[in-house]
Chain A
Amino acid sequence: MSVPKILTRVPERVERTDWKRVRTLADKLTTPLHPDDYLKLVNPLWSARELRGRLEDVVQETDDASTLVIKPGWGWSFDHEAGQYVGIGIEVDGRIQWRSYSLTSTPRRRGRRITITVRAMPEGLLSGHLVSGMQPGAIVRLAAPAGEFVLPSPPPEKILFLVAGSGVTPVMSMLKTMDRRGTMTDVKVVYSSPTADRMIFRDALLGLAEKHPSLDLTLRYTDDEGMFSLEDDLDATCPDWTGRQTWACGPGPMLDAAEEHFRAHDVEDHLHLERFTLELGENTGEGGTVSFQNSGRTAEVDGSTTILEAGEKAGIGMPYGCRMGICHTCTLTLVSGSVTDVRNGDQFAQPNEQIQTCVTVANGDCTLNI
């Protein structure tokens, strides 16, 4: 699914030490550039400076959803966790635009390809382009896998997946992982979609259910059967739901309802959702009042709320992309005041300096040019 995702530690890129040493030596030849800055001109995937991938195939899943098969370049680590998402950046009119999508491939240390599955959103310029406008061979930017919505290893004894629409994507990765590792436990899947045609991975799920007797599938076609109600339908569909670790993924209202329902039955600690919070390092600011110059709006924030979140809280249409400091889409001008970069503690305090709002927090009052 495509949602604003949480900021987590970007994993160290894996590199063998001898290779690292060669690169350090080669650095002396190319300084102030890196050897990769030259090599990527020969093959775009030969650079670990920015993660890139080559689109190898586009597999149509439904009328409006496709799976993109991507071969990542140097520096990619294939051992992500099932359920994590990646940032993907593509160039539109000369500008790189970023979105995040759940990985639908399984993590494997010796992998060669990753897949993401994208549904074209109405008026979603980028998702539409990804689903139908990309040709194999195209080069995309990637951001390292991240996200806390993951399946633990080994998986819990009893699991419930509550999914709707393209929310199936991270769950598919989890199911495929359990299938591949032979660790399919007692799993119940409740999956809603308007019609059978629009249901992404319908056949793949039916195939998995056939293979694993412990995997029980409830498919709900909401155009005919109506929405799945936790209040009315869950007890009948899955009587032992309170005893299951539950992963829920889907539209916002559905997640809200799940949170409420689990809280009402006092099992909220069993529920795992994509939480839109920010995991900060040790670098925090002092907080203060963040003012937005053009609208005159303000937000009171603590020292761990990013400027981007502050703007969103104040109802400003803040630009954003990867939300982890990679893509620069969120860059705005700091008119006055001081901010701290949560990644490294760098302070930016000079008037009219550009800052990346997704990774900076306020040090006292500050004003932004938006």
Chain B
Amino acid sequence: MAIADVKEYTHLSKEDVEALGAEFDAIRTRIEESRNADDAAYIKRMIKIQRGLAFAGRVTLFASHKKPAWAAGAALLGIAKILENMEIGHNVMHGQWDWMNDPEIHSSNWEWDTAQPAEQWKHSHNYVHHQFTNVLGYDNDIGYGILRMAREQKWSPVNLGQPVYNAALATLFQWGVALHDLDIERIMKGEKDPKEMKRQLKQIFRKGRNQILKDYVVYPALAGPNWKTTLSANVAANLTRNLWSYVIIFCGHFPDGAMHFTEEELEDETRAEWYLRQVLGAANFEGGELLHIMSGNLGYQIEHHLFPDLPSNRYGEISVEVKEICRRYGIPYTIGPLHRQYGQALRTIMKLSLPNGFTQPDGTPPPDELPRQRRKRRTDAEREPRRAELGSWSRGRTA
């Protein structure tokens, strides 16, 4: 069973789906051929601004005993971290800028300002999440192994604590992400390859240690008598970044309208069907240019999932065409203001902390008979190999 056989999409014939895929392919080709010096200047300007903000923030915090300096420094640093993680790091690691042939802005060796080592991110995010988007049991981003985000997922009394887990995840988001590729469940059952586990833990430890040292030891120490206020400002900056990236990421796939899929729908999936699943499983949010930059252009989540390795500054222009294609083929294109998209995600978190019988579903109703979901994560051996549709991808040497 492929995605086109899903009840809602029986209006699309197999040929329709293939034609849809060809239209998306055409967009990809056109953008790839038109990447130019302006695009290169865009990412270089972004990097320059980001490093300038980070530098200004660090310097300002040397005077952090004064309240305005504390607030300004924390804000500058927080914004710098957000920019680095969202518009720069995330997108560079997707290979969006590999075409420039610049080893300094390349997916194979970018390391970002967060606890997760780049190499593990490129596995858990670029491959597992982007290829198996919203497929239950495959995509570990559905609730990050902590939250129950789909009615198809079996309820257990542990889920009653969801509001608390959610708040903890938002606060400590970078550490949640850091552990994301480890597969703690398998480790606890003793099924994880000990060699691989050791390698991953070592990477996480080294990266996390450097991050902690920098923000919570070295800069406060350099600030001398102002160590306490510098420390608290750095905590505030990291917290701001954590909360913001949490909100943006939860708006990508959890608002009403973003669909979940089952293992059966993955079977013999064609490139066109993969495209279709990306549109149906993602949700956009509206906003001005600044909001889009601060969210790494992930407000164009649908476009990002269709073309994960095309330069993020082009998603806006791509979205016009994608919207039009969706209208022609009668495919829903989920979009709304940021607060509404996050509100819906939050409502789902609250509702699904209870068994299904207590609440009514929102958005696309799941099938009458909910498929049973395997609880255990797949290993790479059980997953389909990585698809070429995900674009440029290479492992790093740095981490």
A331 contacts which chain B residues (CB < 8 A)? 98, 392, 394
B386 in contact with A350 (CB, 8 Å): yes
B393 in contact with A327 (CB, 8 Å): no
Asked if A31 meets B210 with Cβ closer than 8 Å, knowing A95-B100, A348-B395, the reply is yes
Asked if A94 meets B100 with Cβ closer than 8 Å, knowing A28-B218, A354-B95, the reply is yes
In the assembled complex, A328 has its CB within 8 A of some CB on chain B: yes
Interface string of B384-399 (1 = CB under 8 A from A): 0111101011110110
Inter-chain CA distance A28–B392, complex, in Å, is 31
A38 contacts which chain B residues (CB < 8 A)? 51, 55
Specify which of B55, B98, B211 is in contact with A328 (CB 8 Å cutoff). B98
B392 contacts which chain A residues (CB < 8 A)? 331, 354
- The chain B residue with its CB closest to the CB of A326 is B103
Specify which of B104, B108, B210 is in contact with A37 (CB 8 Å cutoff). B104
A352 in contact with B387 (CB, 8 Å): yes
Asked if A329 meets B101 with Cβ closer than 8 Å, knowing A28-B218, A31-B211, the reply is yes
Interface-facing stretch out of B37-45, B282-290, B351-359: B37-45
B103 contacts which chain A residues (CB < 8 A)? 50, 326-328
Interface string of A313-354 (1 = CB under 8 A from B): 000000001000011110101010000000010101011111
Inter-chain CA distance A62–B388, complex, in Å, is 48
A369 contacts which chain B residues (CB < 8 A)? 388
Mark out the residues of chain B between 111 and 160 whose CB falls within 8 Å of any chain A CB in the assembled complex.
Answer: 111-113
Interface string of A165-183 (1 = CB under 8 A from B): 0000000000000000000
A41 in contact with B393 (CB, 8 Å): no
A93 in contact with B102 (CB, 8 Å): no
Asked if A94 meets B38 with Cβ closer than 8 Å, knowing A28-B210, A32-B112, A354-B393, the reply is yes
A354 in contact with B98 (CB, 8 Å): yes
- The chain A residue with its CB closest to the CB of B217 is A28
A355 contacts which chain B residues (CB < 8 A)? 394
Q: How far apart are A88's CB and chain B's nearest CB, in angstroms?
A: 13
In the assembled complex, B13 has its CB within 8 A of some CB on chain A: no
A95 in contact with B397 (CB, 8 Å): no
In the assembled complex, B219 has its CB within 8 A of some CB on chain A: yes
A33 contacts which chain B residues (CB < 8 A)? 51, 111, 113
In the assembled complex, B340 has its CB within 8 A of some CB on chain A: no
Inter-chain CA distance A352–B385, complex, in Å, is 8
Mark out the residues of chain A between 75 and 119 whose CB falls within 8 Å of any chain B CB in the assembled complex.
Answer: 89, 91, 93-98
Mark out the residues of chain B between 307 and 366 whose CB falls within 8 Å of any chain A CB in the assembled complex.
Answer: none
In the assembled complex, A14 has its CB within 8 A of some CB on chain B: no
In the assembled complex, A13 has its CB within 8 A of some CB on chain B: no
| A interface residues, tally (CB under 8 Å) | 36
B106 in contact with A328 (CB, 8 Å): yes
A95 in contact with B395 (CB, 8 Å): no
In the assembled complex, B213 has its CB within 8 A of some CB on chain A: yes
Interface string of A137-175 (1 = CB under 8 A from B): 000000000000000000000000000000000000000
Mark out the residues of chain B between 210 and 259 whose CB falls within 8 Å of any chain A CB in the assembled complex.
Answer: 210-211, 213-214, 218-219
**Cross-chain pair count, CB within 8 angstroms:** 100
Q: How far apart are A48's CB and chain B's nearest CB, in angstroms?
A: 12
Specify which of B104, B111, B219 is in contact with A49 (CB 8 Å cutoff). B104
Q: How far apart are B391's CB and chain A's nearest CB, in angstroms?
A: 9
Inter-chain CA distance A355–B39, complex, in Å, is 24
In the assembled complex, A29 has its CB within 8 A of some CB on chain B: yes
Mark out the residues of chain A between 27 and 76 whose CB falls within 8 Å of any chain B CB in the assembled complex.
Answer: 28-29, 31-33, 37-38, 41, 49-50
B385 contacts which chain A residues (CB < 8 A)? 350-352
Inter-chain CA distance A28–B98, complex, in Å, is 27
- The chain B residue with its CB closest to the CB of A369 is B388
B38 in contact with A335 (CB, 8 Å): no
A96 in contact with B394 (CB, 8 Å): no
A353 contacts which chain B residues (CB < 8 A)? 386, 393-395
In the assembled complex, B35 has its CB within 8 A of some CB on chain A: yes
B388 in contact with A96 (CB, 8 Å): no
Interface string of A348-366 (1 = CB under 8 A from B): 1011111100000000000
Q: How far apart are B96's CB and chain A's nearest CB, in angstroms?
A: 13
- The chain B residue with its CB closest to the CB of A327 is B101
A94 in contact with B386 (CB, 8 Å): no
B210 contacts which chain A residues (CB < 8 A)? 28, 31-32
Q: List 7 A-B contacts (CB under 8 A).
A: A41-B48, A93-B36, A94-B38, A327-B101, A350-B386, A352-B390, A353-B395
A-B contact sample (15 more), CB < 8 A, given A32-B113, A328-B106 = A29-B218, A31-B210, A31-B214, A32-B398, A41-B52, A94-B37, A96-B100, A96-B102, A98-B101, A327-B101, A327-B103, A328-B103, A344-B397, A352-B387, A354-B393
| A-to-B contact residues, CB < 8 Å | 28-29, 31-33, 37-38, 41, 49-50, 89, 91, 93-98, 321, 326-329, 331, 333, 335, 344, 346, 348, 350-355, 369
